[in-house]
Structure 1
Amino acid sequence: MYLLFVDESGTPPKPELDAHAYFVIAGLVIPEDRWSGMHEKLSGLKRASKYRGEIKWRFFAPNNNDPENPMLGWDQGKRNEFRERVFSIITETKSCRIIAGISEAPTAYALGNVQSPSDLYFRTYKVVTERFQYLLQDITKTSGRDSYGLIVADHRGRGDDDRMRQQHERLVRETGRYTSNYANFIEGLFFSPSHMSVGIQLVDMVAGAIWRAQTHRDLIWLEKLRPSFRAAPTGQIDGWGICRFPKAGWRGSILT
């Protein structure tokens, strides 16, 4: 069994935005037999560092002095050192894989069938689910055994969760020319509050690193995660570990 934890970076931009605006949904695939070890490593790191609370990408910003930030009073060097150790928990777990979707909002809205932030969110989520299905198929072929997965998302609010659950169900159950066959998925979409989920906290960090790389071309943290991305045999992550939506007409830089 493989668990796909998903979380977004930021909120889906609105249609009226003219500038390049990107939205990211990242996924972290953790085999069930590796989850416990990663949980213990993260818990141990928090204890050793006297970090109390959940981990969020935004807490690492140089000017984040929110009272709720567990790193309040830490200098940037100490914050970055802690962040690197968090990322090492992912990269040292060799069977973990990162998959993600990036939407270029103005290009997506120009399609005509994306008309709201909710549409943009779902279309970005869709490409992540497709890459998860492809990954499960790859693992099945390599191992010779059927491999199955389920998805756990960050709790966003009852209305948002209900709508997302219904969209997920239609996506998985309906097949057609433009829809993947999700033969390796189990059950529906599950939700967990981030402060109660190690997987959601880790993937929040992944989403932040990808958004930062795409929006500001700051590749430092993306490169630290590169060994864990689903990739082509050549090492390329575009189209494999990161899927752009929409691919046609993409205006911005491409994370390769």
Structure 2
Amino acid sequence: MYFVFIDEAGTPGYKKGKTPDGYFTLAGMIVKGENILKLERELQRHKLDYGLPPQEEFKWGSKYSSVGWSYDEYANFREGVFQIIENLAETIIGVVLDKGESYKKNYINDHCDLYQQALYLMMERINMWYEDTGVIAAPTIFVIDSRKNNKEADLDEKLAKSFRGALRTGTYYHQGFPWFSHSPFFSTSEESTGLQLADYCAGPIQQYFSTGKDEWYQKMRGKIRKSPGGKVSGYGIKTFPGRPTIQL
């Protein structure tokens, strides 16, 4: 059994009256079921080593000054998180949507449509990774960072319906996904170690696309899915629409 933990960076929507711009990133971290408890224990131990409560989330974008760290301590903490991912995750897959170009598509009209498109591309790449590695008949459970809020309490259910629809009808490149769970599970990142680590996968990708700064992206690049020749673009990171404008 495999678990896919999916977190986002950036926002899929845009303010009314404004032109959509920037990027929206989904990152999926694939973990074998037998490694889930190890994942939890390693991250909890790592937090304790840095004086953090083991059950408390420290996000990719959290300010290190908020916990009294120096930048070096902050960088070392991040390095340790990446080492946990390196040791216990199978691979990382990213999907990056150019919001300005995506919203020009006639089938992307709001943030739900944009997120759905990113999720479909993620599902395809995960299925392709199975084909790469020869994984057969491996039940796969998706755990997605909850999107619902006080204004839109049905966001998770809308996404679940889209997910189930893709299972029934397939997507452009895949006829179906027979080993994916019937419906994804939604959780807050505070309650899921896997989602907390997926946050550290999405953050560096979004940072690289948005700012061109690739220090942290390069540190996790080795874990991203690649072609047999080592190519990341289109394999481990799918950009939409079109090809990336940066070197992956």
TM-score (norm 2): 0.89
1:98 is aligned, of 71, 92, 107, to 92
Deviations for 1:138-195, whole angstroms, at most 9, x for unmatched residues?
33x2x6x432312000122231111111111111111365654212212211111211
Classify 1:177/1:233 alpha carbon distance in 2 versus 1 (closer, same or farther; 3 Å).
closer
Identity of aligned residues (%): 27
What's the counterpart of residue 191 of structure 2?
A: 196
Please tell me the residue identity of whatever aligns with 1:205: Y
Helix, strand or coil at the partner of 1:156: coil
Q: How much has 1:13 moved relative to structure 2? A: 3.7
Moved more, 19-28 or 224-233: 19-28
What's the counterpart of residue 9 of structure 1?
A: 9
Helix, strand or coil at the partner of 2:94: strand
C-alpha distance in structure 2 between counterparts of 1:176 and 1:19, whole Å: 25
C-alpha distance in structure 1 between counterparts of 2:97 and 2:17, whole Å: 15
What's the counterpart of residue 210 of structure 1?
A: 205
Q: How much has 1:255 moved relative to structure 2? A: 4.3
Q: Determine if contact 2:120/2:171 at 8 Å carries over to the other structure.
A: no
RMSD: 2.0
What's the counterpart of residue 145 of structure 2?
A: 154
2:68 counterpart of 1:76: no
Q: Determine if contact 2:167/2:182 at 8 Å carries over to the other structure.
A: no
Please tell me the residue identity of whatever aligns with 1:115: N
Q: How much has 1:45 moved relative to structure 2? A: 0.6
2:128 counterpart of 1:134: yes
C-alpha distance in structure 1 between counterparts of 2:99 and 2:68, whole Å: 36
C-alpha distance in structure 1 between counterparts of 2:190 and 2:247, whole Å: 30
2:104 counterpart of 1:113: no
What's the counterpart of residue 43 of structure 1?
A: 44
TM-score (norm 1): 0.87
C-alpha distance in structure 2 between counterparts of 1:50 and 1:221, whole Å: 23
Count of aligned residue pairs for this structure pair: 241
2:246 is aligned, of 215, 238, 254, to 254
Q: How much has 1:6 moved relative to structure 2? A: 0.3
Q: How much has 1:17 moved relative to structure 2? A: 4.8
Specify every segment of 5 or more residues in structure 2 that has no aligned partner in the other structure, as ranges: none
Please tell me the residue identity of whatever aligns with 1:211: Q
Q: Determine if contact 1:136/1:149 at 8 Å carries over to the other structure.
A: no
Please tell me the residue identity of whatever aligns with 2:39: M
C-alpha distance in structure 1 between counterparts of 2:147 and 2:20, whole Å: 26
Classify 1:232/1:17 alpha carbon distance in 2 versus 1 (closer, same or farther; 3 Å).
farther
Superposed, which structure 2 residues align to 1:217-256 within 5 Å? 217-247=212-242, 253-256=245-248
Moved more, 71-80 or 165-174: 71-80
Specify every segment of 5 or more residues in structure 1 that has no aligned partner in the other structure, as ranges: 66-70
